[in-house]
A and B are shown apart, each in its own frame.
Chain A
Amino acid sequence: MSEEPARPDFAGENRTRSAKEASIKWFLFVCAALSVLVTVAIVATLLVDAIEFFTRVSPVAFYTGTNWSPKIGEEFGVLPLVTNTLAVTVLSALVAIPVGTASAAYLSEYATDRTRSVLKPALEILAGIPTVVYGFFALVYVTPALRGVGVPVGTFNLLSASIMVGVMIIPMVSSLSEDAMSAVPDSLRQGAYGLGATKYEVTTSVVIPAAVSGIFSSFILALSRAIGETMIVVVAAGMSPQLFPSAFESIQPMTSAMVQLSTSDLAGGTAAYYSLFAIGLTLFVITFSMNVASNWVASRYREEYE
């Protein structure tokens, strides 16, 4: 037994602690990586099965065919689904872009702090409503209301579904656009007021042009959301793809066709089964490139204020 006082031993404690720290770090990393892995897996699945589809049906036939009848007759022309998706997107944009931009301008430039503190959360509640509720609302309220004012719409129709898709994406446009407008430095507004601009002139000729990149990027994001929207069109737009859709009649966009196909008794390994993945991949490519475009617009046209 040594008389010398024992040196304190830090090492043992240290070893277990650093092992614990390392395992926590790994656990957190796996969680963070999971979402990336899932995304990669989904894209891989889409790709593999879409390629399988294209070995049976040529991409040319798929992308130029004008008849969509996957189960009866095995016609895989996706064009009607694409034009119908486009129709929903354009019509909903006609609702969401003017209303969303105007709300953003009101919230950012006109509203008092008090009004804003009520209105902004109210608008954001719109974003929290399940989309199936919008679809139901389109079917049982908007369609009868349109008929009531003399618009000759069918039970399922492009118009009421698009109106509700438009309403659904209003908060996206208004919230992101308002952020962009509020970020315009106040010194620019002062400069315009100092030159004798009215509030309306300040908003339209200074604030909106200065915020244009953020506003456009909000449009693109909202449209990409409209393209992917499923429940509203499933419930309210019908199941009949039309190459040249009428606003008053039943149509069927890509998302809705996928739902119909996957809820039917679909035998695995058939061309109809694999066509799901081809449509899915096409949708993914469209929305993904729109999100990329949105980011590009936001950074490309951002004015350097500072």
Chain B
Amino acid sequence: MSKETMTTSNPGTETEDDDSLASPTPGSEAVEESSPSRSSGSERTVIESRNLDVYYGTEQALQSVDIQIPERQVTAMIGPSGCGKSTFLRCINRMNDLIDAARVEGDLLFQNKNVYDDDVDPVALRRRIGMVFQQPNPFPKSIYDNVAYGLRLQNKTENLDEKVEEALKGAALWDEVSHQLDESGLELSGGQQQRLCIARAIAVDPEVILMDEPASALDPVATSQIEDLIDELAQDYTVVIVTHNMQQAARISDKTAVFLTGGELVEFDDTQKIFENPEHQRVEDYITGKFG
């Protein structure tokens, strides 16, 4: 399972992370050292797309999307069904690669490195960008093994117990499951399963967490727990969340991107501005429920 480590000279990109992105070598400590410090300025852009088009076969799902997603904030993507918000999310960690018919054009930069460059290994990329899905999808393994899964993939198994505990605490689940770590993750309630999936994602200490409607399958109490958690996660991670629930976007996000039918990013701004005084009439119509 040895993949080539590609050479790192990439004129035009000055990021220090080329190496670690292109190299899938598990457990390489260099990744940790070369990662930018989280204490740097809060408005730094982590993810940026330029002229991003996505096609599924002949159908265009995203139309020249330009966006700059800031570090350690919650950025919400809202819009009606089929507007491309999930497609955009899945471009960031190249989960679209799993769909044969999907084709991406334009640039998507993660820390100034185009993730669609030939020398980027999607496996290495996904190790730094966690993802939480619409349906809670814990593995049919114990709670402990679920959280340890990503760490084991990357051979980061020293102090595994501590890391698992830390991740479960980070996902606000530790107090509920600390006495049953050996039980199956499938025994938990839906909300607990989703927090387990969040624990699984943050255990490997990614820089970004992508969430694809993470609360849409949950009841209101579990939803509110997830929302509180997202708020806390944003202190350490960049969170990008797709939601069809506009109130949720308004409650939890710092920035909001509004996609409208046809895969067009119509407006992207501070959440407050989007909800109180959007620039575009179409956005206002959507927010106020005149359509969609």
Per the bound structure, the CA–CA distance linking A185 and B139 in Å amounts to 10
**A195 CB contact (under 8 Å) in B135, B149, B184, B186:** B149
Contacts of A196 in B (CB 8 A): 123-128, 150, 153-154, 204
| Per-position binary interface string of chain B over residues 159-174, scored 1 when its CB falls under 8 Å from any chain A CB and 0 otherwise | 0000000000000000
Per the bound structure, the CA–CA distance linking A189 and B130 in Å amounts to 14
Contacts of A195 in B (CB 8 A): 126-127, 130-131, 149-150, 153, 200-201, 204
Asked if A210 and B153 sit within 8 Å, CB to CB, the answer is no
B160 CB → nearest A CB, Å: 15
Per the bound structure, the CA–CA distance linking A304 and B95 in Å amounts to 26
Q: Does B221 contact A (CB under 8 A)?
A: no
Chain B minimum-CB-distance residue to A189: B98
Asked if B139 and A206 sit within 8 Å, CB to CB, the answer is yes
Q: Does B1 contact A (CB under 8 A)?
A: yes
Chain B contributes a number of interface residues (CB within 8 A of A) equal to: 30
Per the bound structure, the CA–CA distance linking A305 and B140 in Å amounts to 8
Per the bound structure, the CA–CA distance linking A206 and B150 in Å amounts to 12
Q: Does B93 contact A (CB under 8 A)?
A: yes
Q: Chain A: interface residue count, which band?
A: 20 to 34
Q: Does B133 contact A (CB under 8 A)?
A: yes
| Per-position binary interface string of chain B over residues 1-32, scored 1 when its CB falls under 8 Å from any chain A CB and 0 otherwise | 10000000000000000000000100000000
Q: Does A110 contact B (CB under 8 A)?
A: no
Per the bound structure, the CA–CA distance linking A57 and B252 in Å amounts to 82
Contacts of A188 in B (CB 8 A): 137, 139-140
Contact A303 B126, CB 8 Å, known A190-B98, A195-B153:
no
Q: Which of B135, B149, B197 has the most CB of A within 10 A?
A: B149
Contacts of B124 in A (CB 8 A): 196
**A193 CB contact (under 8 Å) in B1, B126, B141, B154:** B126
B41 CB → nearest A CB, Å: 28
A201 CB → nearest B CB, Å: 6
| Per-position binary interface string of chain A over residues 40-54, scored 1 when its CB falls under 8 Å from any chain B CB and 0 otherwise | 000000000000000
Chain A residues with a Cβ under 8 A of chain B: 185, 187-188, 190-198, 200-201, 205-206, 209-210, 303-305
Give 12 pairs: A residue, B residue, CB < 8 Å, sorted on A.
A187-B135, A188-B140, A190-B133, A194-B130, A195-B131, A195-B200, A195-B201, A195-B204, A196-B123, A196-B128, A209-B140, A210-B140
